[in-house]
Structure 1
Amino acid sequence: MFQGVRPHHVLPCPPPDHRQHRNDTADMSEAQSKPQSTGSPPVHPGAGQPPTATATGTGTGKSVNPIPALRKRLKEGRQVIRARHDTGASGPEVCRMMTDLVDSIVLDIYRAAVQQVRPQAWQDAPWCLVAHGGYGRRDLAPFSDVDLMLLYDPAEEADSQALAKLLHQWINDTGLHVGFAMRTDAQSWKLAWTDASVITSLAESRLLIGSIQLYLRYFRGLRLGAQRRAKRLIAMIEAARLEERRKYGETIFLLEPNIKRSRGGLRDVQLVRWLGFVRHGETDLRPLIENETIPEEDARALERGYHYLLRIRNQMHFESQRAQDQLDRAMQMRLAEWAGWRGAEGILPVEQFMQEYFEHTSEIRYASAHMLDNVKWQSPLASSLQRSVGMPVQRDFRVGFRYVWATRTGLERLKRDPAAVIELMAVSSRYGKPIDPVTWREIRMAMRNRKITQIDQLTIERFLDLMSQSTNLAEQLRRLHELRVLEQIIPPMQHARCLLQFNQYHKYTVDAHSIRAIECVTELEQDRTGLLGSIYRSLRDKTILHLALLLHDLGKGYPEDHSEVGARIAAEMADRLKLNAQDKETLVFLVHKHLLMVHTAFRFDLSDDDTAVRFAATVGSSERLQLLLLLTYADLASVGPGVVNEWKIDLLLQLYYQTDAHFRDERPGEGFHEDILHRRDAIRQHRPRECDAEWWDQQVDALPIGYLIRTPAALAATELARLRDLETKHCLTWGRFLEQQKALEFVIATRQTGRPIGTFHRMTGVLSSMGMQIIAAEIHTQPDDIAWDRFLVQDTEYEGSPPPGRIDAVCQAMEQALAGDAPAPCFRDFWKSRTSRLTDKIQVQPTQVRFDNSTSDKHTIITLFAYDRMGLLYSVSKVLFEMELILHSAKISTHLDQVVDVFYVTDMTGQKITESTRLYMIRQRLLQAVNSD
């Protein structure tokens, strides 16, 4: 039943018939797979020569090189195995076939190599060849590395080194990727006790061929030594696995997981085997079930997940024709089609596939975590003391030195009552001890089978009390979600479970993102310096904010806009939780309008007072504004690492200050407008003596509000003073590296003469052609017709701060382009291939172009929604230039693979574009520019 975790397990000890083999040698693989070559190859002199075989049937005794034949065997064998895979062979079955194929090749090479090193007595050689790691485990994927160790007697070191050299060279020559080590048993043990990667790989040892006596001595020493050092080795293995998870994805819901190394992947199935070996000397699940190290339900979950992941991994290897374990977006789409998913209303096939994937990795993660927790504290004394010395807490719960658990009566109550589970969670949190695995498992199994019904008043009260807290809230919600209790209280969480958002912007599934958003906002409790932390701590009741964050994206996965669906969900949950009318209205508003602030701040001209007036009219009150600001920040911060930066925070705060000023009109002169006046006065005080006072005041008065908010007065004055140089120069450029954003800022200023168009598109062309990914841009016109453009970019050729010469080169190229000396930009083939990957394989939403002639009194607003590619902004801005549109303002927002570009334009006479035919032509030209390579 449990052979799925170690199919056809080959025990470390050889079978009885091999124990009687002459001269204590054995070929343990021949019991499963006979090599194609039936005779021993002849020996040829020369230690560095490949193995050879005598050509039969010629009578000449001429020798031939068998490496090409072995390489052909590998290639043809993979083709046969691929055919079996394509007809539905299970993951473990394919891996066993692949292992048998590799065994046959390795054994032929071993025999030839041993005959060459010791031709007279090769059967008595004091060596053995040991497979370990995945190869030893017999779950070898089609293009995985082959891990081998030559175990040798120290007295035979010279011949052993010669043999190891031949084996390593010849196996690599066949096209296999081999990881090879030559060790004595003592060396193996010494490394195993100090290196987690060694003990975990050697725990999967399998004898291929050679001295049984040598192998038995080695493996017995490894097994007994590991058990004697179990506590230290378990800690070492746990630390190594934790570090690996940090590197490849701590959460199981990372949207481009590594199928092997991310949390809940194959590595966690293997972790159970390694822990069983270190604690009990066993890697198979059946003995671990029998000694109660792992429950049978967890073992079944591991088996199901193991079969599922191995089959997917085999497909990834076959399709890529190489070792491929990263489940990137393009691979996900191909696998979804391969697996037969067809999609449903509101859900893409790839989202269905990944939802299934995450359900399996979730189960693996739970089972492996419980196993780890069990073996860390497993001892006869600990097991007997744990429940005998527990302190009674409340009616049905006990607190021991390690766990919190429920009595038999309490367990029955927990299995039917969500309120009791919340009560137990509170006890666990208060005493800082986890719920014991037995209690956890019983609750989870009961909730999986429990029908969702109405909740009683006690459950409502306890849940709302939990949602009002800040300390450890997100972690408690995660645990309730893992236990399937959260969906008993908030049923839409069931639909959102493991639901992928198929874009490069979101890094987590809907349910994980929602809980992470709550974590981000509660972390503001510790922010003692910023406005966001101050606002959060000032809230008397945080319940509605936390609820809104939990619900804000639960409308995803339906055909209708998720904000509209979310508003209805919020109303239903407010009734389910019996919120009062005011709280219900606030909750529905926050969920329905959770994108309003980010759209307004990132897409509209905040220097236009009408923008804040319209936003204030929608929000309605200062209290709601504060809640919306916190929700917007938490939503952005929980999307993934690096999404929130200083640039975006400044825009949100600028909109907040301007809107808040409208709500405080009863106190004129205070607040936002007064702060802006102070900032302008501070810049005035930095006026250089050589600058004319009247000119300086005009320039300071014209500085955009966003620039004033984020730029220190001294820096603003320095940049402003540079504009005087435009009296003698046609343009000015400068750049700097922004450490906090890990990005470069480039600025260009020029005096516009003649037609006021063309500067922006030339600059975007230069930056893109030099490998700069434009993530934000601002354009502004100062008095005296000075165009002042600012670009925030990421340099794809350097990580961190680039060399000074790099910034100088970009600035020089920008000046040449503006002077008309530079050729049209060209974008490298590298970026064209990247474009193809992102647009052809990942694009799931069509490009959109929208026109707005009602928001602004002076400008037509063009909004472009598209998938990013190198040179996209240049292509778009070139269309605006060719259509003779004056660009007055631009908001460029890049979210990993998606861009939202907003342009405020007029025609050459300064009028809006209202004629329908002209608007149609602009749209068609923009769509053509975006969709072409």
Structure 2
Amino acid sequence: MTSLHPQVIESRQQLAEARLKSANLHASGNTGLQVCLAWADSVDAIVHRLLSVACEEENVDPSKFAFLALGGYGRRDLAPYSDLDLMLLHNNLPEKSLQGLARKASQLIGDTGFQLGFSVRTPFQCRQLAWTDAQVLTSLVEMRLVHGSESLFASFENSLKNGAKMRWRSLASMIEKERLEERQKYGETEFLLHPNVKRSRGCLRDVQIVRWIGFVCFGQKNPEQLKDVGLLAEEDFAPIQEGYAYLLRLRNQLHFMAGRALDSLDRSKQMELAKWMGYQGHEGVLPVEEFMTQFFELTSELRYSSANFVGMARSRLTPFGFLYRFLSLSAGRDLRLGLKEVWATRRGLDRIKDDPGMVLELMQIANRHQRRIEHKTWRTIRKGMLKRIDKPVGPEAISRFLGLMSTPGRLGEILRRLHELRVLEQIIPAVRHTRSLLQFNEYHKYTVDAHCIKSVECVEEFAKRNDFLGDLYRKSKRKLILHLALLLHDLGKGYVEDHSEVGLRIADETSKILGLSEADRELICFLVHQHLIMTHTAFRFDLTQLSTIVKFAQQVGSLERLQLLTMLSCADLAAVGPGALNDWKLNLIHQLYDATASQLQTGEPLEHQSSAKESNRKAVFDLLSAQEKNNPVWQERIAAIPATFLFQSKPQELANELRRIHNLSNELPVQVWAEYLADRDATQYSVTVHPTHTAGLFHRITGAMASQRLSILSAEIQSLPDNAAWDRFLVDDPDFQGAPAPNRINQVCQAIAKAVESPEPIRPTFKRTWKGQESQESTAARLQPTQVRFDNSSSEEFTIITIFAYDRIGLLYDISKILFDFQLDLQVAKVSTHLDQVVDVFYVTDSQSNKITEPTYLYTLRQALLRAIE
């Protein structure tokens, strides 16, 4: 075993002491920058000594090289566990000396305990890379000398600055492109669920891009000096500095909490930070939501200010800028239209800062001519709207806004820009409350305000679809009402009261502000107040039951409302995040839409379904052999194919599955098979069971799946007339990305078959070691209570049990075991999983096929379910 260098042993002790000193400085309330600077000084002292030892032992001429700190280490805002980025800059050192020095220096530093990024280059090589690689360029912008030749460093620094000045336009574009790609990788919007304090939009990278653009365009990277010479506006400098200080302290805390480099704010870290920062929350808003709201507000301001500076640098250095303005055209009173931008004149700037109507006119011009708003005009509007006192907007502004809302195209983008400019809240005051408001769950990917705007953007995309949604949207004459309802639908969040009830009042008040007719006001109020009823009905109730459709039709009331509610529901789902509106959910909504439309038009809710069902049923029958067609048992089973199966499966698949059922016997009581569904990135397991083995079947199957570490996403259980079982389970296998291996599918199928055939139920065993860090953090961040609800009014035959809970391995087994122990007859199960939360719906009767109505029995059942879930 190789012994450690004596200097490494000493440096390790110094490193531990320096880290403890930094932690104490942080804990005592020093600013993030103070802690970073102190830590960088300590690191410098250690690294300098190690480099001195390396140079001495390798006997290298110190005038021929320089060790340079790059990136965050060069900038001296180094976080406690961040990597060190070090470069050996040399002036034609002999190869043997160069290799020896590089090897010795990197080994000493690495052995001490630093995570080291190390490179060896000549000044020429550096410049050659810097002009073509943004990452190399930006790391060199932050360089400083740690050890070696001052003259070599000074000469290289001067050549880099002069070379950048000659190439400023291409380098600035290269930096912006690199930053855009990084933002897209870590989330294009700052409203993602788990922001990265270093790389997400509005975070530390947007402070650093000010330095990098300042360096290549003006030869100055310090924001304060850029401000002093008039290149960075005072109103932009303040948010940048405030955000910088805030993010550095936050990042330091993340590193100290984790004991390692950590820049991602996952849910559990958000909760820890909220507690550390002393947030108490308030009515309707959790402490963690209050913390994240402030985080998003600060990073939004930082992003705007950083973007303003980059835009200013671009326009200030644009060649022939004066000519562009000279060639501009009048676009209205005090507004000008240029080749690339639209702006307000000097007199127009005085008007526009307090006139939402003029802003909307400018936005319409920019949209119509595909021009961006000039950064000075943008900044003037935003600054003016921030200071504008609450007062009603004029009729011209309302008229322009309604015209905007009724015209699809780029509406989502326009609303987002109006929101950034703080104009949207002048027209709809309720928007202000939801700005940057976090929804603390794993389901929504955006803050409330971003989600509402995203939903408008999603519904516009329906125009491109070649399905019933596309037809509904293209034919709709009420796009204004639909767009407004989507913009308003979640603005009631963040209060103690149910957000749909608050939303109803917001919709009513907004309709009055906008001067809508009484009929339009009632329609918008309905859509906002009832925006969840369609998805709740489609995903939680048996759509083949007449009572489900009749009740929903009564709630909706008219075909026009149904059409708008369908589009709103789908857009709301799509705006939750990628993949939230999948084919399975869309099929259920379509099924509910068709049945309800039939009920509203003809009074026969299942007429359309019945026709489609019988057509599909006949297609299955036609695939049978002559002998099968003449068999009464086959005829009975064909007639009993569940409606959901008829709509979801191809006739050939159903015919094959019926043959599996027909082959069941006492000797072969169960058949299990599986198919990977690529469009849902999940595996569907189908189980058919002989009538002699169906007792407690559901909890046996779910137990087997739990023991195999499968997460059940949805389940459909069906019984045929002879009591043979025909069940389907859609599952996620965390052990595989994409399709599971064939041997894995065989393993699961065998486990299910064994559980069904066993004379006694097999209690599943769960491995606890498989659970990853993300799952553990998700468990720590669970705040919503478990709910068990009983419904005896929606179905004439069954008691409907609805359970809201956080998902875990074995949850469905524990629930189904309680139902079995209470001797309940389970007829239908609808299981839906949304990331970490599940909604399980069970249609049950007692052992005598009656509803469960006795209060004491219901209370006892609820308590048993709650205990099993928790």
Aligned match of 1:13:
none
Q: Structure 1 counterpart of 2:516, which letter? A: L
* Alpha-carbon shift at residue 243 of structure 1 (Å): 1.8
1:113 matched to which residue of 2? 54
Asked whether the 8 Å contact 1:835–1:869 carries over to 2, the reply is no
**Cα 1:382/1:743, change in 2 over 3 Å:** farther
Q: How far is the alpha carbon of 1:830 from its aligned partner?
A: 3.4
Q: Which runs of 5+ in 1 are unaligned?
A: 1-47, 52-64
Q: 2:16 aligned to 72, 75, 86, which one?
A: 75
* Structure 2 Cα separation of the partners of residues 433 and 248 of structure 1: 28
How far 1:73 moved relative to its partner?
Answer: 1.3
TM-score by length of 2: 0.97
Q: Relative to 1, partners in 2 of residues 1:305 and 1:886: Cα closer, same or farther, differing over 3 Å?
A: same
1:775 deviates by 1.1
Structure-2 residue corresponding to 1:588? 525
CA distance in 1, matches of 2:312, 2:634: 72
762, 776, 790: which one pairs with 1:837? 776
C-alpha deviation, 1:723, in angstroms: 1.8
- Verify: 1:619 aligned to 2:556, yes or no: yes
Corresponding residue to 1:630 among 547, 567, 584 = 567
CA distance, structure 1, for counterparts of residue 296 and residue 567 of structure 2: 30
Q: Percent identity?
A: 48
**Are 2:788 and 1:849 aligned?**
yes
Matched, 1:267 2:205: yes
Whole-Å separation in 1 of the counterparts to 2:250 and 2:231? 29
Taking a change above 3 Å as real, the CA distance of residues 451 and 701 of structure 1, as seen in their structure-2 partners, is: farther
Give yes or no for the alignment of 1:746 onto 2:680: no
Larger mean Cα displacement after TM superposition, 208-217 or 365-374: 365-374
Secondary structure of the structure 1 residue equivalent to 2:372: coil
What CA distance in whole angstroms lies between the structure 2 residues aligned with 1:801 and 1:374? Answer: 50
Per-residue deviation, 1:558: 0.3
Q: 643-652 or 420-429, which moves further after superposition?
A: 643-652
| Cα distance in 1 for residues equivalent to 2:785 and 2:375 | 48
Match status 1:319 vs 2:319 = no
Deviation at 1:89, TM superposition (A): 0.6
Contact 2:595 2:606 in 1 (8 A): no
Give the 3-state SS of the residue equivalent to 1:393 in structure 2: strand
**Structure 2 regions of 5+ residues with no counterpart?**
none
How many Å separate the matches in 2 of 1:140 and 1:839? Answer: 29
TM (normalized to structure 1)? 0.90
- The answer to whether residue 620 in structure 2 is matched with residue 679 in structure 1 is no
Write the letter of the residue equivalent to 1:162: G
Q: Distance in 1 between matches of 2:425 and 2:437?
A: 14
**Aligned residue for 1:22?**
none
For the structure 1 residues 254 and 90, does the alpha-carbon distance in structure 2 shift closer, same or farther, using more than 3 Å as the test? same
2:445 pairs with 1:504:
no
**Alpha-carbon shift at residue 129 of structure 1 (Å):** 0.8
Counterparts of 1:643 and 1:381 in 2: how far apart (Å)? 47
Q: Where in structure 2 are the equivalents of 1:352-371 lying within 5 Å?
A: 352-371=290-309
- Which of 753, 763, 767 aligns to 1:824? It is 763
Name which of structure 1's ranges 829-838 and 463-472 shifts more when overlaid on structure 2. Answer: 829-838
* Alignment-mate amino acid for residue 211 of structure 1: S
Cα contact 2:539–2:588 (8 A) shared by 1: yes
Letter of the aligned partner of 1:347 in structure 2?
Answer: V
Q: How far apart are residue 670 of structure 1 and its match? A: 6.5
Mapped contact 1:468–1:542 kept (Cα < 8 A): yes
Match for residue 150 of structure 1? Answer: 88
Whether the 8 Å contact between 2:709 and 2:733 is mirrored in structure 1 is yes
Matched, 1:572 2:509: yes
Q: 614-623 or 157-166: which moved more?
A: 157-166
Displacement of 1:836: 7.1
Specify the code of the residue in structure 1 equivalent to 2:808.
Answer: R
User: Judging changes above 3 Å, is the alpha-carbon distance between structure 1 residues 364 and 835 closer, same or farther for their aligned structure 2 residues?
Assistant: closer
Q: Which residue of 2 aligns with 1:714?
A: 652
Whole-Å separation in 1 of the counterparts to 2:643 and 2:518: 38
Q: Distance in 1 between matches of 2:735 and 2:284?
A: 39
Which residue, 810, 820, 841 being the options, matches 1:871? 810
| Separation in structure 2 between the aligned mates of residue 408 and residue 671 of structure 1, nearest angstrom | 63
Partner of 1:914: 853
How do 1:186-205 residues align onto structure 2 when only pairs under 5 Å count? 186-205=124-143
How many Å separate the matches in 1 of 2:82 and 2:211? 20
Q: Which AA in structure 2 matches 1:135? A: Y
Query: Residue 654 in 1 paired to residue 595 in 2?
Result: no
Q: Judge conservation of contact 1:651–1:706 (CA < 8 Å) in 2.
A: no
Cα distance, 1:142 vs. partner?
0.6
Matches within 5 A, 1:156-305: 156-289=94-227, 292-305=230-243
Please report how far the alpha carbon of residue 480 of structure 1 lies from its aligned counterpart in structure 2 after TM superposition.
0.3
3-state SS of the aligned residue for 2:803?
strand
Q: 1:89: which partner in 2?
A: 30
SS in 1 for 2:320: helix
Mean Cα displacement is larger for which, 286-295 or 739-748?
Answer: 286-295
Distance, in Å, in 1 between the alignment partners of 2:40 and 2:410 is 47
AA in 2 matched with 1:90: T
Q: Is the 8 A contact 1:691 1:721 kept in 2?
A: no
Tell me the alpha carbon deviations over residues 837-875 of structure 1, each in whole angstroms, 9 at most, x when there is no partner. 356521111111111122222211111111111221111
Corresponding residue to 1:104 among 6, 24, 45: 45
Query: Do the aligned partners of 1:129 and 1:210 also contact (CA within 8 Å) in 2?
Result: yes
CA deviations 1:139-176 (Å, max 9, x no partner) are: 00011001100111223332121111111111111111
* Alpha-carbon shift at residue 768 of structure 1 (Å): 2.4
Aligned with 1:535 (options 460, 472, 477): 472
Q: Deviations over 1:36-59 (max 9, x none)?
A: xxxxxxxxxxxx9855xxxxxxxx
What secondary structure, in the 3-state scheme, does the structure 1 residue paired with 2:353 have? Answer: helix
Letter of the structure 1 residue corresponding to residue 831 of structure 2: I
Partner residue, 2:578:
641
> Over residues 739-788 of structure 1, what are the superposed CA-to-partner deviations in whole Å (9 max), with x where a residue is unaligned?
1111111110112327x531111211222222322111111112221211
Alignment partners' CA distance in 1, 2:587 and 2:604: 24
Query: Offset at 1:95?
Result: 0.6
- Determine if contact 2:595/2:607 at 8 Å carries over to the other structure: no
User: Please, what is the CA RMSD of the aligned residues?
Assistant: 1.9
Cα displacement (A) at 1:291: 5.6
| Alpha carbons 2:211, 2:220 under 8 Å: kept | yes
CA distance in 2, matches of 1:908, 1:499: 48
In structure 1, the partner of 2:373 is 435
| Residue 838 of structure 2 corresponds to residue 899 of structure 1 | yes
Q: CA deviation at 1:67?
A: 1.8
Deviating more after overlay: 512-521 vs 729-738: 729-738
Q: How far did 1:408 drift?
A: 1.9
